[in-house]
Amino acid sequence: MTWPFENDTSAVTRRLSNARIGQNRFRNRLIGIIIFMAAAIMAFVSSYRTFQRRISLC
């Protein structure tokens, strides 16, 4: 029961929580993309070094 003199902040709380969920979703996707790119760069550098060593042995 809501009394006439109480502050009903449920709408504001709901709006803020939905905004925060959206921000978290974006942040998590961005972190995933960054981790994927870092792994791809590390794999490229590793394979490039291996390729350079094989060339120098020939």
- Structural domain includes residue 25: no
Number of domains in the chain: 1
pTM here is 0.63
The per-residue b/e assignment along 3-12, b for 16 or more CB within 10 angstroms, e otherwise, is eeeeeeeeee
Tokens of 27: 């942040």
- Structural domain includes residue 40: yes
- Structural domain includes residue 16: no
- Structural domain includes residue 57: yes
Tens-of-pLDDT digits for all 58 residues of the chain?
566 667 778 888 899 898 898 889 999 999 999 999 999 999 999 998 888 887 777 6
| Count of positions (residues) in the chain | 58
Q: Supply the range of the domain harboring residue 36.
A: 32-58
- Structural domain includes residue 9: no
Neighbouring residues of 8: CB distance < 8 A, sequence distance ≥ 6: 2
